[in-house]
Structure 1
């Protein structure tokens, strides 16, 4: 009787050990993944984009069709891109993924896209190829147990195209970046009445934002390097450039306060 009880206890301990061991192994083979939406703003009242799904292609994901895994969206539906500029973003996905190499992401758009200009809403024509999935190259590693943060950065100004008949078409201009391999530039532009657009320029690449009402700006997702800031204010103020802004990975470079001069009127 005592031997039977001892064997029973031993079996229970063995099962518990195996369960804990498998749980630990599972946690070590997955990566917490967070995907956020942000935007490079445009001169519109609203840019409404209908995001219906996100898929990730992983070399380790053999269970899904052709390696594509459908992500669990926190909220699918219409997002106004202009609510998410100057470092503001919104969380689209928060889930565990199999660790391994990822090569692509696919963004699935719906048909409910629009732009609001001077208070008037216009439909954004969306080609069928976009609703079947916009693909982006990632080529990164999901390391087991290490949180991976990825941003989808729309360029609202370049994504909305006016056609010859006065309608508007959605031609998404999007980049992706992750926090671990990029840096940022911040600063303040004055006077605030200049309402400038700020361009971070390196080589042939340009990434833009618009200053907040208080003059502050933040441009994220920049690769390491030496940038030029090109400041374009509204009419009545002079454009200005700031050279030699060094960006390093994982850091925010403060460009300080940038003064814009008003255009001098000749009598």
Structure 2
């Protein structure tokens, strides 16, 4: 795995996180693929619900106000404690024009809450500046054509939620906790892949690689060439279900072609997984 930038940030203004969008892979000429994901270091709470509003990236010089671009998302509440011990939430997965990213800006709405171990729910307040968001600089992040790039937001709950020193039981629940986010931002190329050979080549199948380890699933597609060879590049690591759909009909008096599925195909970063030979004959 190639780490393009790795740094820790203590954010003292409003936080926002992208909502989820289901990806349908595209090989559109000139496009890259951009992912934004969220993971968490656990804290001593039973639930931390973030009111997710939007996420943007900046494509131009730092001081150019026209450089911000929205990423696709669905506003929602995310319990960050669901994503600990290596799990992560896919917030954004989208085709994106190749080029440099300068900054990302994160926005959180006003309805975040924290639930303590005794089941009490408290408003999670953010300091001023929430409406304009938090700008995080990216160092030398370049999206390349037909490759996948991932921004991982590693949220530290234990350090990010602060109890007011003068709060006492019976006080307004809106005043107990402040959100002063501590986030480690990891930007990295995603460069896994898989390849193989389909027989008979005349079946000319469409091939779908579905990352079944995600909810919703992430789907990538390609087609076998005239020799039956196929290859999918720039796949995020994970476990895939690979489906083969013939697009032609077998000649008369020959065995018919059939749809074939291979489950549990593991893709690892910076490696190409060999699926060997796949027969589509009944």
Identify which of structures 1 and 2 has the higher relative contact order when contacts are C-alpha pairs closer than 8 Å and 6+ apart: 2
Whole-Å Cα distance in 1 between the matches of residues 187 and 86 of structure 2? 13
Whole-Å Cα distance in 1 between the matches of residues 144 and 153 of structure 2? 20
Alignment correspondent of 1:95: 94
Alignment correspondent of 1:40: 41
1:137, CA displacement in angstroms?
1.6
1:172, CA displacement in angstroms?
0.9
Whole-Å Cα distance in 2 between the matches of residues 145 and 40 of structure 1? 32
Alignment correspondent of 1:178: 187
Matches within 5 A, 1:98-247: 98-117=97-116, 118-139=118-139, 140-166=141-167, 167-180=176-189
Alignment correspondent of 1:70: 70
Whole-Å Cα distance in 2 between the matches of residues 42 and 50 of structure 1? 18
1:65, CA displacement in angstroms?
5.0
- Structure 1 residues 92-101 or 122-131, which shifts more? 122-131
Q: Secondary structure at 2:111's aligned position in 1?
A: coil
Q: Which runs of 5+ in 2 are unaligned?
A: 1-26, 168-175, 191-268, 271-282
Alignment correspondent of 1:54: 55
1:58, CA displacement in angstroms?
1.2
Which structure has the highest helix share of the two? Answer: 1
RMSD value, Cα: 2.2
Q: Secondary structure at 2:107's aligned position in 1?
A: strand
TM-score by length of 2: 0.51
Does the 8 Å contact 2:33/2:94 carry over to 1? yes
Q: Which runs of 5+ in 1 are unaligned?
A: 1-25, 182-249, 252-267
TM-score by length of 1: 0.54
Q: Secondary structure at 2:94's aligned position in 1?
A: strand
Does the 8 Å contact 2:148/2:189 carry over to 1? no
Alignment correspondent of 2:80: 81
